[in-house]
Amino acid sequence: MKSLDEIKVVIVEDEKISSDELKYIISKDNRFKVVGQAYDGISAAILIENEAPEVVLIDINIPGKNGIELAEEIKSILPDTILIFLTAYDSYAIKAFELKIYDYILKPYDEKRIAESLNCVVSTIISRNENQITDILYKLDNKQTVKKIPCENNGRIILIDINKISFCYSEGEKNYVKTEKDIYCTTKTLQELSEKTNFCRCHRSYIVNLEKVKEVYSWFNGTYKLIIDDNENNEIPVSRSHVKEVKSVLGL
């Protein structure tokens, strides 16, 4: 797992001016560090093997060993490395897709386009780190439940103790963890969180830590609402399909 302030990048570009321009653009983002520049495929392969970067930006038309051959070699020795193709032509898009290349940036370089790609890289690495942390936590617990949930906070991964979580919910395409005072984003689905905690599914968009429920009251059409013991007294809906389960767990 890699700290987000040291994502290592290698640039493979046979034109030094273009390579330096790319390095300058990337260096504006302090989450990344350009650890090397190569100007042909053969020296690039050696540099990448020595540095083991998280990200490699590859010009397809380079001497010695073209970018596609280099990408295939990197995939075989560093399968998790994020590869981004650089080219003045769009005719390589199909091959890039076949190689599962992360991104495909056309020349001349557009700073905004590169920044968007780097932001996506950060999101991908955060997600990978969360998955690795969760896997470790799962393996440490014989009951296959977890004690902490990995969440994202300002580009960092923090571990939230499940005893401090009031409820988890989905909104749009994102999932969130709510503590007494704060809200954090997580890449884990509600189903995954429900399976690995003792939280109760009360609605398709909510799972609740019943230890944090201080009041239950009837709503309409056979539904209920749960009042959470937090600083906002949040009200969580209980859908009809989950009423029986919630009442059973609460002993109602």
- Please state the domain count of the chain: 2
Residue-wise pLDDT for 16-49, tens only, equals 999 999 999 999 998 999 999 999 999 999 999 8
The answer to whether residues 84 and 57 touch, using CB atoms and an 8 Å cutoff, is yes
Element housing 215 (H / E): strand 213-218
Per the structure, the complete domain to which residue 222 belongs is given by: 145-250
pLDDT band at 219 (very low <50, low <70, confident <90, very high): confident
Residue-wise pLDDT for 57-76, tens only, equals 999 888 988 888 898 888 88
Residue-wise pLDDT for 92-150, tens only, equals 555 656 666 788 888 888 899 999 989 888 888 887 777 666 665 554 454 456 788 88
Q: What is the CATH number of the domain that holds 204?
A: 2.40.50.1020
Q: How far apart are the first and last CA of the chain?
A: 45
Q: Tell me, yes or no, whether 230 and 154 share the same domain.
A: yes
Q: What is the CATH number of the domain that holds 45?
A: 3.40.50.2300
Q: Tell me, yes or no, whether 122 and 172 share the same domain.
A: no
d(CA 206, CA 202): 6
d(CA 230, CA 184): 15
